[in-house]
Amino acid sequence: MLEPAAMEVPMAGTLSTTVAAVPTVHNPRARKLRSAVWQDFTKERRADGNCVAICNHCKKQLTATSRSGTTHLRNHLAICTTTSTRRAGKRRKLIVRRILNNKTSTGRPGDGVASGDDHDNDTTHFDQELSRQDLARMIVQHGYRFSIVDDLGFQKFVKNLQPQFSMVSYDTVRADSMTIYGSERLKLQDALLKTPCRVSISVDMWRSSTQMDYLCLTCHYIDHAADEWKLRKKILNFVHVDENFTANQIAILILEKLQEWGIDRKLAAVVLDNCTSGDSVATELLRALQPRRLLLLNGNLFHVRSCAHVLNLTVEESLEQTSDIINRVREMIQNVKFSQERLQKFLGTAKLLQIDQKLLVLDSPNNWPSTYLMFDSACYYHDVLLRLAEQESHYAAFLTPKEWADVKALTEILDALNNTMEKFPVENPTANLYFNDMCEIHVLLNTWRNSPSPVVAQMAGRMLKKFEGYWDLTRPVMAFASILDPRYKMKSIEYFFQLIYGNDQFTAKATIEAIKQNFTSLCNDYEHSADSLKNPAVLFYSGNSNSCMSSVYSYGNDSKTFSRITLSDARRGLDQYIQESSSGQSLKSDLDMYLEEAVYRQKEGNQDNFDILGWWKSFAAKYPVLSQMARDILAIPVSIIPLDSEARVLNEYLSTMDPLTVEGLVCAQDWLRAETEDDKAPNGDEIIVAPN
């Protein structure tokens, strides 16, 4: 809300600006001036009967009627006290703070009612406890040290900002931070228990600088609160584990934590890419959960790998077999970069050949993207390096023509894989995003395996074998997610599998049919589950492409506006159901209707902006069973980017903490940051001038 500008009293003539000395008459109805702003203004009545507020510092007159409020006075005072008052040497304290007149129903510190107008009856006051909680939330949210409260500079800053605030101790702010962790944990647990959909988890192993191991348990689910579907990722636990923990002990620990949160009976899938003995842990988890018969397809979709992890494993293990050529390129670049004389020759030759300067990259071991960049930069300076080889023909560090041919061929392979990897970093990725990309990689590996270049054929053959082994675990989930993408449905599966299997069309058709049958079986499980019947947001009705939803999100229209299901929509669905059932027409299942309709066509060049969660939210009433499947499948974290081992190291500050405090800070920071991202920027924060 825009605050009114300072309103000066018109100065049209001497009569209008003259303040008459009016005899003081006691008025029992006169309101007491309660606002703190009147400590810097004097209210007087003019000869014409109107009141003015005279600034005690610059003597400017501003209107002071009963309807004008005091916001314009505060606006003037903020300007006045930063100019004339400073020159006069009168330093005052300005406190920018939202005034909490009433606590909201949430009870969360920092929530309240703030008004854009400050009338004379405002009862503003300083709240020590609220400020203390705000300080703890700030420290947790931004990862500041607890010892910041002992810093003299910080203490001076707070003292000047609010002299009434009593600075807390290190132990107090630590206790307050853990209290925040406890309250936020209860809020998250309540949200997870109320979420009607399944959740997926990812497990990562971290290490402190003091060589203590931690297990990070992260939950992935689609939140449908506030009538909006959003993909959420929340750290549930960050617990210390012994370095000698077995796979069975890790699995038991994970199950204990899931039971504490109350989500052990609603798991969809688990990603164990960065977990010690991930395959063994998955086996132990399945052994414990399968007897309950609560997993999707009896656990066939339970253990998955992320796309990025599949590509990393495929490339890194295959490059080990080409270490000779990698070492040759690395040796050549080292001898150019670390010899001053040879580097000057290199730069001079590049300038002579009019080649634009580009970084000559030296890779990091066990990091294949950096190896690709090293190969790419070597190929870029191919002509320059050939000239150097001619000038120093006695030097054996430069590549031979055959080695150059192999390097160029390998660079083409790594370039295609690196381009796919660069697509992965997407905020809150859903499971449908990269199925087509992974299929394209599969097709390329088949093609490269038949390359006339021996080094390419050998490397592609190794990659293909490893890729198929790793991707077979994740392919069903990604195929299901692709079916749930209304832009593709079964089309991507049919197209790519025919390319992948080439002449073996029998295997292609059998694979396509197996995926469709498994998807249909999963759909039937959802249809007959009690969870589907308990979902209050689902309105069951059947129909065709002319339903009420189609008019809002029509095929071929790239509209981003999704309808909300209303009572009239439900009544239309009932009328349609009566008409169809009365005419003897058999009701079709969600899946039949969904697959029979044409795929959703976006406008050209806008494929990456498709909001699949918004689409399914809009069509939840038309496809109640499939929409529930979409919430569970699309949240499976197969599209996340797993952190490498160097990134999974606690900083020095957290490494010195005890494990309970580490867990509290890591989890609470994750929850508070996510909460801040969801909150909209507040409007009209108050500027209050504290009295001396």
Question: What average pLDDT does the segment 180-188 reach?
Answer: 96
Q: What is the pLDDT of residue 578?
A: 61
Distance CA 630, CA 233 (A): 17
Q: Do residues 373 and 361 touch, judged by C-beta distance below 8 A?
A: yes
Q: What is the pLDDT of residue 588?
A: 76
The model's pLDDT over 486-529, given as tens digits with 9 standing for 90+, comes to 999 999 999 999 999 988 889 999 999 999 999 999 999 998 87
* pLDDT mean across residues, the chain: 81
Q: What is the pLDDT of residue 46?
A: 81
DSSP, res 322: G
**pLDDT classification of 90: cutoffs 50, 70, 90:** very low
In Å, the largest CA–CA distance within the chain is 110
Residue 88 has pLDDT above 90, yes or no: no
Q: Percent of the chain scored above 90 by pLDDT?
A: 57
Question: What average pLDDT does the segment 436-453 reach?
Answer: 93
pTM flag (> 0.85): no
Question: Could you give the 3-state DSSP secondary structure of residue 244?
Answer: coil
> Which residues lie below 8 Å from residue 486, measured CB to CB, with a gap of 6+?
594, 599, 600, 612, 615
Given the structure tokens 């979902």, which residue do they identify?
535
**pLDDT classification of 271: cutoffs 50, 70, 90:** very high
* Residue 54 parent element (H or E): strand 51-55
Distance CA 221, CA 631 (A): 8
Q: What is the pLDDT of residue 365?
A: 81
Least confident of 297-306, 308-317, 420-429, 523-532: 523-532
**Token duo for residue 649:** 């190291």
Question: What average pLDDT does the segment 568-582 reach?
Answer: 58
> Which residues lie below 8 Å from residue 42, measured CB to CB, with a gap of 6+?
53, 54, 56
DSSP, res 535: -
Higher-confidence position of 540 and 442: 442
Question: What average pLDDT does the segment 608-615 reach?
Answer: 87
Q: What is the pLDDT of residue 549?
A: 44
**pLDDT classification of 115: cutoffs 50, 70, 90:** very low
Single out the residue of 497, 491, 459 nearest to residue 475, CA to CA: 497
Helices and strands (H and E) in the chain: how many: 26, 10
Q: Do residues 192 and 264 touch, judged by C-beta distance below 8 A?
A: no
* Residue 591 parent element (H or E): helix 590-596
Q: Do residues 95 and 161 touch, judged by C-beta distance below 8 A?
A: yes
For 601-626, give the secondary structure using H, E and C.
CCCCCCHHHCCHHHHHHHCCCCCHHH
Distance CA 662, CA 146 (A): 12
Q: What is the pLDDT of residue 267?
A: 96
Residue 631 has pLDDT above 90, yes or no: yes
| Sheet containing strand 213-223, strands side by side | 230-241, 213-223, 199-207, 267-274, 303-304
Helix spans in 103-204 (H)? 128-142, 152-161, 170-194
Phi-psi label, residue 21: left if phi above 0, alpha if psi -120 to 50, beta otherwise? beta
The model's pLDDT over 16-57, given as tens digits with 9 standing for 90+, comes to 334 444 444 444 445 567 787 888 888 888 877 788 889 888
Distance CA 202, CA 215 (A): 10
Residue 551 has pLDDT above 70, yes or no: no
Distance CA 628, CA 221 (A): 12
Single out the residue of 30, 32, 573, 636 nearest to residue 301, CA to CA: 636
Torsion of CA 20, 25, 29, 30, to 10 degrees: 40
Q: What is the pLDDT of residue 311?
A: 93
Single out the residue of 81, 73, 119, 78 nearest to residue 99, CA to CA: 119
Q: Do residues 93 and 163 touch, judged by C-beta distance below 8 A?
A: yes
The model's pLDDT over 335-379, given as tens digits with 9 standing for 90+, comes to 999 989 999 999 999 999 999 989 999 998 888 999 999 999 999
